[in-house]
Structure 1
Amino acid sequence: MWAVIMLCSQIPVIAQQASQVSSPDKSIAVNIWLSKGQLQYAVFRQQAEVLQPSLLGLSTSAGNFVTQLQWVSASKPMLVQETYNMVNAKKQNIRYVANEIKVVVKNAQQQSMHVVFRVSNDGVAFRYVLPWINSTTTILEEHTTYALSTAAKGWLQPMSVAKTGWEHCHPSYEEKYMMGIAAGTPSPMAGWVYPALFKTGNNWLIITETDMDGRYCGTRLSNDSGKAIYKVTYPDPREVFTNLGHLPQYSSAMQSPWRILTIGTMASIAQSTLGTDLAPAAAKKDYSFVQPGKASWSWINSKDDFIVYDEQKRYIDYAAQMKWQYCLIDADWDTKIGYEKVQELAKYAATKNVGLLLWYNSAGDWNTVKYHPKGLLLTKESRQQEFARLQAMGIKGIKIDFFGGDGQSMMQYYIDILEDAADYKLLINFHGATLPRGWHKTYPHLMTAEAIYGMEMVTFEQSAADNQPAHCTVIPFTRNAFDPMDFTPMNLYRLTHSKSIRRTSGAFELALSVLFLSGIQHYAENPDGMRQVPVFVQEFLQQLPNHWEDVRLLQGFPGKEVVMARKSGNKWYIAGINGEAKAKSWALNLHQFGKSTATIITDVENGQLFGQQTINIHQAPQQLSVKGYGGFVMVLE
């Protein structure tokens, strides 16, 4: 109670126009109040200010909720609890507990706006509700802001400008992160994407959104130059499905996606499930066909010219040898191989216990990409016809590429694909796409999505290869914090058909197989490269779990290093990467896992690619030396 009184004392408002809600453990508190007709809020953790007074509000075609607001009511805190299971996330059995309040204000036209806040031990979520809508109403602008201290630092990915890039395919969340920049630094492009990571004082903060049901648009953050106030911003009007709109539009009660702020230590960020906690549960359908796994994939190393029958059969054999569950055939398969021969490959793959995945171009007229099959998913009738054909062929899933942004109609297109694919038991991978925003909870057959400057960029540009070590240490705390990510990691031997020289070590690359989360992990190593690595590395990848039950961050700092532990069954897998050129020594508390031995695969200096050793675990921290841009994996049992 003392903490709440202290926090309230910082807000000079009358009691009837303010409310507070705290997390169940009282570590996080949110104050909401009305000041000069504007609704504002502030966030504290352990009595330290995380968000300075920030704005709430909406502008709609039927009325505005920005100024001249009047306080109506605030409910008493109510405990909200949910338990759910995931097979495509950092944890399997998840329990969400939060305190919820609802603040109601009204505008000059006596229309009401509800703002629902939920505060859990790892963060804050809030959403807008307009219950009075009964005719077509457009949400014109959202006025939500996140006001940070100017002393805060950010790890942020710029939002690319619509219709730019190769074949006008942007935006696709594939820009380089700007690391440790001063809060308020202007974006070099069109704002900032989610999740946005900040450090303010002793607290870390990650901002994102979830519960995107297709009726709202995806949003991003923008800020005025030099001001550490970040505003929720709608997408470019050009980011739309053909001839449809980019703004949210409702003809009945509206509720926005949840705005999410995960708050705490670096471990809080790495271990939080807030991005799925607030996402809707899956519909009661048969999702028994959803099987996480790993995939071989020829394109990352051999590119377009090798999408041919014999090469794809070789990669099916490779997947079978590695005990991987899938093989992906990439673009132009419909003409370079053909449906009939692909069905033949699917039957052959099934005899090897390998499922076949096929590439598709999402595009209508929103870009000029020529790769195909193209245009087959644009209408429900065409989608269902194609999905039925694939199901009959024995195809297990599809990778759909080159989407056109975050406008409301484009977000609805994603949902439409997911809804129809579930009926035909097809797994989905969105590539050249938006951030999934918790969709993999609502649609468990969404196995992964790209939305990252990934391994393919390393094969294209030396600058991407030079940046990769630091880049990979940012991703677990940003893009991959909540949603599965198709980075296509792990090139163990050397890049082929590439102009780039990889800077990372083999053990660094191997560690990505544990660090990065994806329902289907497409590996960037080819059969020839895999033959160059020791048998113990091959066996590690053959036995690596397909999904995880729990996670712990042992240490990490974005841009510098990550050491993370993941649990499967009675084993813990630990992986670490060094994002800097200098060698490091890490002191790791392995005793906490309750295991007696650890098998470690690391880099070695004797001309070999990898070394392996088994050690006994003691109570004292274990010292592990890692070379610059190096890494390790460890299995505890």
Structure 2
Amino acid sequence: MNRPRTITLLLRLLSVIILLSLSPGCSSPRDLSLTSPNEQLRLELLSENGEIQYRLIREDQELLEWSALGLILDQMDLSKELNLEQVSALEVVKDDYTLLHGKARSIQYQANQKTFTFANPSGQQMTLIFRLSNDGLAFQYHLEGEGEEIYTINEELTSFNLPASAKAWMQPIAEVNTGWEGSNPSYEEEYQMGVPVGTPSPISAGWVYPALFETDGAWLLISEAGLGRDYCGSRLAADSPEGEYSLIFPSDEEAFPGGPAKPTGTFPWSSPWRIIAAGDLKTVVESTLGTDLAEEQLKEDMSFVLPGQAAWSWALGKDNSITYDIQKEHIDFAAAMGYEHCLIDVNWDTTIGYEKIQELVTYASEQGVKVHLWYNSAGSWNTTPYHPRGMLLEAEGRQAEFQKIADMGVAGVKIDFFGGDGQSMIGYYIDILEDAADAKLMVNFHGTTLPRGWARTYPHLMTMEAVKGFEMITFEQAFADRAARHCLVLPFTRNVFDPMDFTPMSLDEIPNIDRKTSKGFELALTVIFESGIQHLAESPEGSFKQEGFVLHYLRSLPGTWEETNFIQGYPGDYAVMARKGDDHWYLAGINAGEAKKLSLDLSFAGTGSSWILIMDSADGQALVQKNLSNTQLAAIDFPSNSGFVLFQTN
């Protein structure tokens, strides 16, 4: 037993009991605590020596030990000498909303809420809003006031203090202005998996969200949601002494030229929500906190939003594939497969040109396929040579370009190479989204930050990269060798709350790369990974080499999902997930660990269901199909680096 740490916790508990008995207006200990609707989660707040701390308990297990709260602004300190002035009555918050694409369609959110108002000796106030739902905790800072005076938040002291026994699955963030053509930071590093809390990040810039932790069988996934143009994206510090992870702001270089990196603005002011999904692994993976706490959908016509699959030549063909003839072939391919979209990637403005793009868009429309075009976001923050480059930096030019291509019939844009998480760079994202909505263009961001629930607020944001995706497999054999484990952490982290443009599925050959995952593994990624538009990597040639039943499966894929059901798995090892779309269940599994034998209970899909199972052959060289009629139990052999799909036929 760690006696000094135990004694400290006992003294803090005694302090909170004494404080609650003495604090004016606090009639019972529940005034500084909050429970979830099912009473399994409990928040406790501690105001001691003028500082504020919180902790999170699940039943009798402490998930987060006492953790810090507070803000330091350029003109006021709201981190010390704070006095608790007011505690609100308990409020029940309910929200029923619909997503146009995502892990679920109709979502019901319910949470218990309390607000706590503190003041410093100068009378300057800070309000903390806490919500507890059955799947986790959310909290937000609010600063009330009015006027034109501009403030800057220099530090947010929020921390997440994990028990010493906890393990972490976390992604470092690259240093700003590093990497190819200075294009970092983007969220494209490899995860540290199952490391002890307190393990320093291998990169000094810190760790990104979502960050996954496990302690004695309980799981937490930490992220943020509801990020607007008045705040920056945050992250976790590289060092976490004794397992306490501190929230930090991005570097000053991560700003749009001439704009702020740190939160800068006028009152009233609210921070993004800090969210912590908590419970067993199923609860965490199925959680919708990331969209529950996001801002409501824009009050604009979104009838142009069309989720689905996309053909995309650049994944395997790279720059040389961006020609008129090859793009026409991919439009034909999309039409033949029933894919809704075709993405034309880099340098199209010179290798094809606007006039020929118009021809392709018109031709695609006749085939029932929507065309999307690539743009380089970049200004001065990197030296990437791809183009069109810099056309979106100024509002007037961006709006004119968006309207021009919309008038041509282009359906969406992919925009690459952003400059970090500073407040003004976040504002640039939102400017683009608002202008794209006006032009009725769907959006895909690459070289980018984490979406943080934006797909609810801006439903035309179909997907974002923020992941070390398939393209990295095509660049480096060493990463291809590790790809299976990397894919097996993403359903538990990056892809829980937000759409992810990994661009999955290679069924044939990757030029100059020895793929280590099986065809079954690759096929299963179409269900395991969620994206509003799923850009599938396989080429027309590689696709049409596959068995007819594989093509039938790909043609049957729904555009989006109505429900998500986590069946079983473990981060970095294996995952089995079921998603419902077009009133049919699709179940898939991928395995990077030791060979397993699965017994899958299919009763969640109802009685009398028939299924088709596609899995790897015994020698792993091909795919085979089996019919499972009127069954509620499926037994599946599950070798390492393999996968399968199982989909309902009635």
Regarding TM over 0.5, the answer is yes
Contact 2:56–2:63 at 8 Å: present in 1 too?
Answer: yes
**CA drift at 1:98:** 0.2
Question: How many Å separate the matches in 2 of 1:302 and 1:372?
Answer: 17
Question: How many Å separate the matches in 2 of 1:95 and 1:606?
Answer: 45
Contact 1:270–1:481 at 8 Å: present in 2 too?
Answer: yes
Question: How many Å separate the matches in 1 of 2:239 and 2:530?
Answer: 34
**CA drift at 1:607:** 7.0
Task: Show the counterpart of 2:116.
Answer: 103
Task: Show the counterpart of 1:515.
Answer: 528
Instruction: Map Cα deviations across residues 514-539 of structure 1 (whole Å, 9 max, x no partner).
Output: 11110100001001101111010001
Contact 1:258–1:278 at 8 Å: present in 2 too?
Answer: yes
Question: How many Å separate the matches in 1 of 2:351 and 2:478?
Answer: 32
Contact 1:25–1:121 at 8 Å: present in 2 too?
Answer: yes
**CA drift at 1:110:** 1.0
Query: 1:633 and 2:645 equivalent?
Result: yes
Alignment of 1:452-601 (within 5 A): 452-496=467-511, 499-580=512-593, 582-595=594-607, 596-601=609-614
Alignment of 1:113-512 (within 5 A): 113-132=126-145, 134=147, 135-189=149-203, 190-224=205-239, 226-496=241-511, 499-512=512-525
**CA drift at 1:557:** 0.4
Contact 2:201–2:239 at 8 Å: present in 1 too?
Answer: no
- The code of the aligned residue for 1:181 comes to V
**CA drift at 1:133:** 5.1
Tell me, what secondary structure is at the counterpart of 2:455?
helix
Question: How many Å separate the matches in 1 of 2:603 and 2:240?
Answer: 48
Tell me, what secondary structure is at the counterpart of 1:341?
helix
Question: How many Å separate the matches in 1 of 2:410 and 2:495?
Answer: 27
- The code of the aligned residue for 2:605 comes to F
Contact 1:8–1:31 at 8 Å: present in 2 too?
Answer: no
Tell me, what secondary structure is at the counterpart of 2:403?
helix
Question: How many Å separate the matches in 1 of 2:36 and 2:477?
Answer: 46
Task: Show the counterpart of 1:4.
Answer: none
Tell me, what secondary structure is at the counterpart of 1:101?
strand
Superposed CA RMSD in Å reads: 1.4
- The code of the aligned residue for 1:143 comes to L
**CA drift at 1:202:** 1.9
- The code of the aligned residue for 1:114 comes to T
- The code of the aligned residue for 1:219 comes to S
Question: How many Å separate the matches in 2 of 1:263 and 1:138?
Answer: 32
Contact 1:590–1:617 at 8 Å: present in 2 too?
Answer: no
When the two structures are superposed, what TM-score results if normalisation uses the length of structure 2? 0.95
Question: How many Å separate the matches in 2 of 1:200 and 1:627?
Answer: 28
**CA drift at 1:45:** 0.8
Tell me, what secondary structure is at the counterpart of 1:14?
helix
Number of aligned residue pairs: give it.
627
Question: How many Å separate the matches in 1 of 2:159 and 2:481?
Answer: 35
Tell me, what secondary structure is at the counterpart of 1:193?
strand
Distance 1:608 1:174, change over 3 A: closer
Question: How many Å separate the matches in 1 of 2:18 and 2:146?
Answer: 31
When the two structures are superposed, what TM-score results if normalisation uses the length of structure 1? 0.97
Task: Show the counterpart of 1:49.
Answer: 62
Contact 2:311–2:536 at 8 Å: present in 1 too?
Answer: yes
Question: How many Å separate the matches in 1 of 2:163 and 2:318?
Answer: 46
**CA drift at 1:227:** 2.6
Question: How many Å separate the matches in 1 of 2:574 and 2:100?
Answer: 27
**CA drift at 1:570:** 2.9
Question: How many Å separate the matches in 2 of 1:479 and 1:286?
Answer: 29
**CA drift at 1:501:** 1.2
- The code of the aligned residue for 1:328 comes to L
Moved more, 460-469 or 600-609: 600-609
Contact 1:112–1:132 at 8 Å: present in 2 too?
Answer: no
Contact 1:133–1:250 at 8 Å: present in 2 too?
Answer: no
Contact 1:31–1:43 at 8 Å: present in 2 too?
Answer: yes
Question: How many Å separate the matches in 2 of 1:236 and 1:349?
Answer: 43
Tell me, what secondary structure is at the counterpart of 2:496?
coil
- The code of the aligned residue for 2:604 comes to Q
**CA drift at 1:618:** 4.1
Question: How many Å separate the matches in 1 of 2:14 and 2:372?
Answer: 59
Tell me, what secondary structure is at the counterpart of 2:208?
coil
Alignment of 1:9-24 (within 5 A): 11-15=16-20, 16=23, 19-24=32-37
Task: Show the counterpart of 2:7.
Answer: none
Query: 1:37 and 2:37 equivalent?
Result: no
Question: How many Å separate the matches in 1 of 2:307 and 2:541?
Answer: 25
Distance 1:295 1:405, change over 3 A: same
Runs of 4+ in 1 over 6 A off after TM superposition: 7-10
Instruction: Map Cα deviations across residues 563-586 of structure 1 (whole Å, 9 max, x no partner).
Output: 000112331110000012x32111
Instruction: Map Cα deviations across residues 269-289 of structure 1 (whole Å, 9 max, x no partner).
Output: 111100000001112110000
Tell me, what secondary structure is at the counterpart of 2:514?
coil
Q: Which runs of 5+ in 2 are unaligned?
A: 1-11
Instruction: Map Cα deviations across residues 96-147 of structure 1 (whole Å, 9 max, x no partner).
Output: 0000000011012110100000000000000000102531111111000000
Instruction: Map Cα deviations across residues 282-303 of structure 1 (whole Å, 9 max, x no partner).
Output: 1211000001011000011011
Task: Show the counterpart of 2:618.
Answer: 605
Question: How many Å separate the matches in 1 of 2:618 and 2:215?
Answer: 40
Task: Show the counterpart of 2:38.
Answer: 25
Question: How many Å separate the matches in 1 of 2:233 and 2:375?
Answer: 23
- The code of the aligned residue for 1:565 comes to A
Question: How many Å separate the matches in 2 of 1:270 and 1:611?
Answer: 30
Tell me, what secondary structure is at the counterpart of 1:157?
strand
Instruction: Map Cα deviations across residues 387-423 of structure 1 (whole Å, 9 max, x no partner).
Output: 1110111100000000000000100000000000000
Question: How many Å separate the matches in 2 of 1:24 and 1:351?
Answer: 52
Contact 1:184–1:223 at 8 Å: present in 2 too?
Answer: no
- The code of the aligned residue for 1:518 comes to S
**CA drift at 1:500:** 2.1
**CA drift at 1:13:** 3.7
- The code of the aligned residue for 1:109 comes to S
Question: How many Å separate the matches in 1 of 2:380 and 2:439?
Answer: 26
**CA drift at 1:87:** 2.2
Q: Which runs of 5+ in 1 are unaligned?
A: 1-6
**CA drift at 1:36:** 1.1
Distance 1:104 1:40, change over 3 A: same
Question: How many Å separate the matches in 2 of 1:511 and 1:309?
Answer: 32
Question: How many Å separate the matches in 1 of 2:375 and 2:359?
Answer: 19
